[in-house]
Amino acid sequence: MKTIRDPVHNLIQFDMDEERLIVDLIDTPEFQRLHHIRQLGLSFLTYPGATHTRFSHSIGVAHLMKRFLARLMDDRRSQPYAPRLSEDRMIAIAAALLHDVGHGPFSHAIEKVTDIHHEVWSRAVVTGETAITRRLEAYAKGMAQEVADVIGRTHENRAIVKLLSGQLDVDRTDYLLRDALMTGARYGALDLEWLIHALRLGTAPSRTGKDGAAAGEEVEVGLDLEKGLSIAEDFMMARFYMYQHVYLHKTTRAAELLVQHLLFRAVELAEAGELTLPPPLQAVLAARGRPEAALGAFLSLTDATLWAAFFEWRHHPDRVLGDFARRLLSRNLYKAVTCPDECPKERVYEVRHHFARKLKLPESYAMLLDNEQTTTYKDPYLLPAGGGRAAEAVRDADAEATISVYLFDREGRAKELSEASTLIAYLRGRAHPFRRIYVPAEIRDEVRQALRGT
């Protein structure tokens, strides 16, 4: 038995005979790289304890996949699905372990620069010329592609897809618990044992297309209606508060936007011949969206790669690059100004143009704009709420396997959570927009007044 001490789950264990594949995957260089990728990127600048890694999160997700599967295979009401769950058990656990293996340093900022989503990298790592692929194929021919299909939400076993990428999935469950613990923001400290106890598999009307038309029944991961309503509400509120207070915290977003624009500026200078990028980053950019052409280079990119570059760039003569690098390293971040609800976009751009001229900076670097469209932290169930085109855009971008949370009654009939809970109905019926502008501290008051037209 392989035993791992974990701050969230206490003891995580993998059987060295039955689950040897998982232990072998953990030992591969590609998975070990996740030791060097922080789970919450720059959140440690807001919450000093948030230095945990993708490595620990991924092992936690594999552990939860084992527990979720065990519960569902033991649940008499989920028995129609038990044989297929048992058959694909190792595929599901391996996919849970490897779902984040394609994350890069400051993952979402890197994605903006390279224009390649981390999930694309994950599938490339799982099916490319890697030790992970060799381990999977040695276990069973074709397994690498099956694991990639679960990660990509295209596997024919919809139950294991939704256990990994649904609304009540093992990924969200672990990161809420882990991020809450490590940040000290206990909003995500939900009752895991009762959540697992209330788990059920059932069927609900599937919806396809933008018209939301029903297209038959599809298997769903849900909760028992009688036992699970309170924990479902707890789960959704934990997500809501963690987004509000951790993932979208104004200081964290200031740092993320600073890194994103710092990398944009570095690429501009490199294209002008005024800067040499770290070789792995240069190779990834040169691949022009083809992950297979730069997989080895990508696997050399870690947090340390970019932090070393930032320390070097702080001395660069370019005013933007040097200033942004120094600001990041000294935590002298741009300050947030909340954009008034009545302030139109045109006014924001006028103000940005004015202060860019005053500061003698390019407009995109003088004021950093932040809203629902600029952040990659999205929750298609709650953020933004209320449906409409904004919610559709989020759903299309994230391609969630499941949009709704379902509760099943004794007869197996599905009820959507917002129909059973007035609390969740209220949340989903409201928009929760945030519009912020980040500016140097010395002009914050002037910008605030200008946006108000005073």
Q: Residue for token digits 């209606």?
A: 225
Among residues 405, 113, 164, 137, the alpha carbon closest in space to that of 286 is found at 113
pLDDT level of residue 195 (50, 70, 90 thresholds): very high
Token pair 């005053």: residue: 358
Q: What value does the mean pLDDT take over residues 123-148?
A: 97
Query: Is the CB of residue 39 less than 8 Å from the CB of residue 178?
Result: yes
387 falls in which pLDDT band (50, 70, 90)? very low
Would you place residue 209 in the very low, low, confident or very high pLDDT band (cuts 50, 70, 90)?
very low
Confidence of residue 378 (pLDDT cuts 50, 70, 90): low
**Residue pair 118/177 in contact by the 8 Å Cβ criterion:** no
pLDDT tens-digit readout, 301-343:
999 999 999 999 999 999 999 999 999 999 999 999 988 777 7
Specify whether the CB–CB gap between 151 and 99 falls below 8 A. Answer: yes
For 181, the token pair is 């613990």
- What is residue 129's DSSP assignment? S
What pTM, to 2 d.p., does this model score?
0.91
Dihedral sign (CA 212, 216, 221, 223):
positive
Task: Show the domains of the chain with their CATH numbers.
Answer: 2-247 (1.10.3210.10), 250-375+434-452 (1.20.1250.30)
Query: Cα separation of 8 and 110, whole Å?
Result: 28
Q: Cis omega before residue 384 (within 30°)?
A: yes
Residue 389 predicted with pLDDT over 50: no
Average pLDDT, the chain: 89
Burial group, residue 96, by CB count within 10 angstroms (0-12, 13-18, 19+) = buried
CA neighbor of 403 nearest in space, from 183, 225, 167: 167
* 143 confidence band (pLDDT: 50, 70, 90): very high
Q: Please, are residues 182 and 49 in contact by the beta-carbon 8 Å criterion? A: yes
8 Å CB contact between 134 and 304: no
Can you tell me the mean pLDDT for 112-124? 89
Q: Residue 208 belongs to what H/E stretch?
A: strand 199-208
Q: What is the pLDDT of residue 293?
A: 86
